[in-house]
Structure 1
Amino acid sequence: MNYRHAFHAGNHADVLKHVTVLALCDALTSKPAPLFALDTHAGRGLYALDSNSAQRTGEAEGGIGRLIAEAPKHPAITRYLAAVKACRAQHGNASYPGSPWLLAHALREGDRIAACELLPEEAAQLKANFAADTRVAVHARDGYEAMKALLPPKFGDVRFNRGLVLIDPPYEAQLQEFDHIIGAVREALVRWPQASYAVWYPIKLRRSLNQFFRRAATLPVKSSLLAELMVHPDDSPLRMNGSGMLLLNPPWQLDQTLRAALPLLQKVLGETGASSRIEWLKPAD
């Protein structure tokens, strides 16, 4: 599976991912201690939905476009739409924020962000997009290697005991990518066990996820949660029917927030046979 983000910016998968990322950030910033966020596959951080790439697929029309038009009432969805509106006020009405932009928007002056991108052209644009934000460090490197190098995070005399690692790879080889994720997260948890980890994954063939979930359930975390949004019936092998977020050490009550928001997203973005679910792989004690 080849998931190039410029073609898919603002689609249903981005809606799920970015609603979740902002909910995570808001929960984490409810406490005063500074945070560190690592975005392992950051892309360019900002997209134009009127570009040839986005127009070629038109996926944003069935994602953020439809959600703006209907704007269901839930605090997590309203928060996300407000962030998109803020991005467009700053960068133009066709803009769409990637996860690095949303992290920078949601986190505070004393927080720090590392955004990693391996593709040289994307990394250069990412660096240009955040050149004026001293909180954001851009790394033109492999995100999994960065997890080894940058965790646990420390800037000068400041150690960050809390934070977020967002893992959003392109899944060009899906089963192999799952191996990379599990291995990298298991190692990272040794160095930074108290952080929250959020892994986005596509849903195409359901059975291909079973081993990933079994292995994820063995990770040494306090709790782990699945949040999924299916916009097509869960039985087509020809397309990405939906996507999910694996959330490790999620903040308190994040499950309740998403449990109320996902059915609303399903109703707006899904066709007949769409679904959503929240399921604990490992419930909190």
Structure 2
Amino acid sequence: MLSYRHGFHAGNHADVLKHFVLIELLNYLGQKETAYTYVDTHSGAGLYSLDTGYATKNAEFETGIGPLWDREDIPAALQAYLNLVKAMNPSGKMRYYPGSPYCANEVMRSQDRLRLFELHPSEIKILSENFRKLEAHKAEQGERQIVRGKRIMINAGDGFEGLKAILPPPSRRGLVLIDPPYEVKDDYRKVRACLEDALVRFPTGTYAVWYPVLSRIESKQLPERLKRIPVNGWLNVTLSISGPSPDGFGLHSSGMFIINPPWTLEATLREVMPYLTRVLGKDTGARYEITSGDTEIVRVKSPVRNSDRTQTVRNATNASGREGGASGSLRTNNNHPNRQSVRNGTAPSRDLGQGKRTARPANLAKSRTR
């Protein structure tokens, strides 16, 4: 199936989360002089119009970039993302929104490499044309030109399969964004299979998986299955702008699962996620969650044969759960200032950004040891 067009969803709350995290990951890689490679397995069109075409049908950008556009209290860690989006709208009016390839190109340096994949026949044409126009525009402005072929390669094909041929990158430094449309159930299986194969080829790379949080079982199981992949470290963050709709349709929540995340990312998310939840949240179902941990490979002596076998053990003791409503997070500990409310199953009142205060049941994360 190739019916998915991201233009319908450009700039929504899921894009805000995805592109904010993407820019953080790329900026971290850019702290070292050594070049790195960015791979986008499902690139889309790269650039989207918000005032014409697909985006105007449901105006989903009003759930994401729209509420952030004119705010003056943007957290410092979120400012780089907002500055990038505003830079492509010099008139000050919100007309265009960048996809992941454009965000990456703007952040990356001349020595870094972009490898972009797109399977949809119409989207790949638009992606190539958008980069051609961007190259011409930069040349007119006297800025560095986009060097095709070596610095940027745009491939018409399946990113799941194409990834195998380019890992590991020459510099052994890189970020892979895996962002399929999930329009078929098999995409969920392919994400894990793709990661398992990629980690054999390039175990030290950073991998970021965007996924929708839906009622379907495959969506619910995906992050738990990714946590069982043997890696040194993982981080999972979700953003919900509301509770699920009664009919189960519509995207109210999404997540980013990062393998081998930079050590600075979790602290940055703790700063930004409460703000995004408060500003983008629509009702008392608005919340965020941040969890992190690692998975170990343990060699176990077989009692039957005199040989070793490997066993994957998820190290849950190193996982830290954080979840919050519109204005913060709750933690279970004996010194909680509102521990009586927690015991009673009621969270402290909080500002939901709708001019009123309310209370809701506390859903507290617990660490588990296996």
| TM-score, length-scaled by structure 1 | 0.91
Q: CA deviation at 1:129?
A: 1.7
Distance 1:128 1:251 in 2: 33
More relative contact order, 1 or 2 (CA 8 Å, 6+ apart): 1
One-letter amino acid of the counterpart of residue 142, structure 1: D
Aligned counterparts of 2:93 and 2:279: Cα–Cα separation in 1 = 25
CA–CA distance in structure 1, aligned partners of residues 5 and 77 of structure 2:
26
Cα distance per residue 1:14-35 (max 9 Å; x no partner): 0000110011111111122111
- Farther off after superposition, 120-129 or 178-187: 120-129
Size of the aligned set, in residue pairs, is: 278
Cα distance in 1, alignment partners of residues 216 and 158 from structure 2: 28
**How far, CA to CA, are the matches of 1:261 and 1:65 in structure 2?**
17
Q: Percent identity, aligned pairs only?
A: 41
Distance in 2 (CA, whole Å) between partners of 1:225 and 1:252 is: 10
Q: Measure the CA separation in 1 of the matches of 2:216 and 2:235.
A: 17
Which residue is 1:205 aligned to? 215
In structure 2, the partner of 1:214 is 224
Q: Deviations over 1:195-235 (max 9, x none)?
A: 10000000122754443223211212210110110001157
Find the counterpart in structure 1 of residue 263 from structure 2.
252
More helix by share: 1
For structure 2, the residue ranges without an aligned partner over 5 or more in a row are 136-145, 295-317, 320-370
- Which residue number in structure 2 is paired with residue 227 of structure 1? 237
The one-letter code matched in structure 1 to 2:82 is L
Equivalent residue runs for 1:157-168 within 5 Å: 159-168=170-179
Runs of 4+ displaced beyond 4 Å: 90-93
Query: Rg larger in 1 or in 2?
Result: 2
Correspondence for 2:197 among 187, 191, 199: 187
CA RMSD, Structure 1 to Structure 2 (Å): 2.1
Q: CA separation in 1, counterparts of 2:258 and 2:91?
A: 30
Q: CA deviation at 1:11?
A: 0.5
| Mapped partners of 2:166, 2:178: distance in 1 | 14
- Would the alpha carbon gap of residues 71 and 12 (structure 1) be closer, same or farther in structure 2, given more than 3 Å must change? farther
- Mapped partners of 1:54, 1:210: distance in 2: 27
Correspondent of 1:169 among 180, 192, 198: 180
Aligned amino acid, residue 29 of structure 1: G
Q: Give the corresponding residue for 1:95.
A: 96
CA distances 1:152-206 after superposition (whole Å, capped 9, x unpaired): 12xxxxx221110001111102x42110000011001111111100000001227
Structure 1 87/61 Cα, relative in aligned 2: closer, same or farther at 3 Å? same
Which sits farther off after the overlay, 127-136 or 50-59?
127-136
What is the CA-CA distance between 1:74 and the residue it aligns to?
1.4
- Per the alignment, residue 11 of structure 1 pairs with 12
Contact preservation (8 Å) 1:234, 1:241: yes
- Aligned residue identity for 1:23: E
Give how far 1:40 is off.
0.5
Query: Offset of 1:72 from its aligned partner?
Result: 3.6
CA contact (8 A) 1:206 1:234 kept: no
